[in-house]
Amino acid sequence: MNDTTSLIYLLVLAGTVVLMLGIGVWVARRNRSGEDFLLAGRSLTTPLLLGTTLATLVGTGSSLGAVGFAYENGWAGALYGVGGAVGVLLLLWLFSGVRKHGFMTFSEEMSYYYGASRAVKGVVSIVMLLASVGWLGAHIMGGALYLSYLTGLDPTTAKIVIAVSFGLYTVVGGYLAVVITDAIQGTILFIGFTVLAVLALVRVGGFEGIGENVPEEATSMLGVDAIGLLPGISLALVVAVGVLATPSYRQRIYSASDVRTVRKSFAWVAGLFAAFAMLPAVAGMAARGLEPGLDNPDMAFPYLATTLFPLWLGAFLLIAGLSATMSSGDSDAIAGVTILLRDVAHLVTGRLPKAEKMVSYSRIALVAVLGLALVFSLMATTIIAYIELMISTILTGLLVASLLGKFWPRATWQGGLAALIGGSAMALAVHNVSAWTDFWGNPVIPSMLTALVAGVVVSLATPRRSVSHEEALRLLAEERAELDVGTRVRNGSPDPDAATGEERSAPDDRVN
């Protein structure tokens, strides 16, 4: 690629960042409290919630990573979209009702399930911070691979550019800036990937051309013949688990105006994302047909953008691809900061930050989280492998623990921690035994099963809970009130503004 083309791509990226930064500056005037900066004042309506959730879901893995995965495995690239859509529907069905409780973080929510347990909140806050930074690292890595290919920047510089790009407007404008820019980037994403898939399909000769140039097993239903039935199920499941247990999606629930808004928005997101799932798969297979010798499958998307199309269209597709990175990275950055200030700071110091300093503290913490994520981004060579390992190691046990705590009255805080530890231990074991990895595809299934067994056995072996859900809500609300954010203390009662989806608690459901 010549220097002029690289310069044009960099100028287009710079112009996009300036636009997003302008939005951040405009929004910054609305940030008067920590709740405004971190949760957009808990006032997101359906259009904004739909746009930001969809843009985050169509992230690095489900776009750039899925194109690369489809390059190697055909229609299996659509499994990412299938798993994501299922995950959103399950999140809607199982957890949308928690909006009424005024939580700020998933750590708070988990603590509530186990009677405001400080042990659970402390451990989960560390796990969630690592998960947020891990996701952020994946987005930085994906965007940097893409930017490096397009512009010739060395990988380290490209990672810094990507992190700074979405870090600027996020630090300035906070969560509302994230939401508004996500809506813009989500629109660009859908248009860009539709154009990419359609034009690539035409260039390769339609679906008949794909069938001639792509291995036969890759064109089977959802690529099952290429990757195997069990690994295919594992891939879809690991993506669904990621949606169900990733902090940034929970933050969407907490920042919505009410439960009904969450449910309506998530239903739309699931349908739209399921439709989107086919586009990266088509693009990846078309790239395989046109250029079967790419060294790195994750380069399939930038190959198409720079090889098949004129410069102006390539520049637009550059923004579409980077929108996938930025619209997801900014969300995970904000989620990580919320956890750091709300939960980890309290765990380490025993105090919460003063309300009047929350905005400035949040900006400082954002810089720290972005810096840590740059280190995490060096952990893998392919996006999908990075995401699969991170989810199965960190999030599977967490999801099992949340399900046990929410739906099984006999679950104890010791059992919840056992589920977390058991799931992570099994994931690491499977990852380090190649025969097990070949059989399962990724560790998500054995990890979840181990977490379930560990959680149930330890819960049955430890005393029943002794703090009711109502008392747990009161304790958490009092603690949160120190930040001048979240629900007001109403004698320990849930927020009554969302009658729909009210969570029912057994009267004897108590926690030690």
pLDDT tens, position by position, 277-305:
888 889 889 888 888 888 778 778 777 87
Q: Which amino acid, one-letter code, is at 255?
A: S
Is the Cβ–Cβ distance between 37 and 334 less than 8 Å?
no
**CA-to-CA distance for 447 and 429, rounded, in angstroms?**
9
Residue with tokens 């805080």: 413
**CA-to-CA distance for 151 and 143, rounded, in angstroms?**
12
**CA-to-CA distance for 452 and 135, rounded, in angstroms?**
24
**CA-to-CA distance for 444 and 397, rounded, in angstroms?**
9
Phi, psi angles (nearest 5°) of residue 235: -65, -50
Task: To the nearest 10°, report the CA torsion of 136, 139, 140, 141.
Answer: 120
Query: Measured at the alpha carbon of residue 59, what is the angle toward residues 229 and 340, in degrees to the nearest 5?
Result: 110
Q: What is the DSSP letter of 356?
A: G
Report the topology of domain 3-382: Sodium/glucose cotransporter (1.20.1730)
Between 32 and 455, the higher pLDDT residue: 455
Provide the token pair at 346: 């309290």
The DSSP-derived string for 70-121 is HHHHGGGGGHHHHHHHHHHHHHHHHHGGGGGGT-SSHHHHHHHHTTS-HHHH
Alpha helices in 277-412 (DSSP H): 278-290, 300-307, 311-339, 345-349, 358-376, 383-390, 396-407
3-state DSSP call for residue 44? strand
**CA-to-CA distance for 256 and 49, rounded, in angstroms?**
7
Is the Cβ–Cβ distance between 114 and 412 less than 8 Å?
yes
Provide CB contacts within 8 A for 327, sequence distance 6+: 52, 55, 56, 58, 59, 181, 182, 185, 186, 189
Is the Cβ–Cβ distance between 34 and 341 less than 8 Å?
yes
Share of the chain above pLDDT 70, in %: 86
pLDDT in tens, 168-226: 777 777 777 788 887 787 787 778 788 888 888 888 888 887 877 788 888 888 888 88
Share of the chain above pLDDT 90, in %: 23
Specify the range with the lowest mean pLDDT, choosing from 148-152, 433-437, 457-461, 485-489: 485-489
Average pLDDT over residues 115-120: 92
Between 390 and 7, the higher pLDDT residue: 7
- Tell me, what's the pLDDT at 264? 96
Max mean pLDDT range (319-333, 456-470, 494-508): 456-470
pLDDT at residue 488 is higher than 50: no
The DSSP-derived string for 417-481 is HHHHHHHHHHHHHHHT-HHHHHHHSSTHHHHHHHHHHHHHHHHHTSPPP-S-HHHHHHHHHHHHG
pLDDT at residue 409 is higher than 90: yes
pLDDT at residue 6 is higher than 80: no
CA distances from 427 to 135, 227, 365, 443 (A): 17, 20, 30, 5
Provide the token pair at 263: 């449910």
- Tell me, what's the pLDDT at 510? 34
Phi, psi angles (nearest 5°) of residue 44: -65, 130
Is the Cβ–Cβ distance between 402 and 109 less than 8 Å?
yes
Question: pLDDT band at 93, cuts 50/70/90?
Answer: very high
Average pLDDT over residues 6-25: 78
Question: pLDDT band at 483, cuts 50/70/90?
Answer: low
Phi, psi angles (nearest 5°) of residue 256: -70, 160
Provide the token pair at 448: 């979840």
Q: Report the mean per-residue pLDDT for the chain.
A: 81
3-state DSSP call for residue 3? helix
Answer whether 0.85 is exceeded by the pTM: no
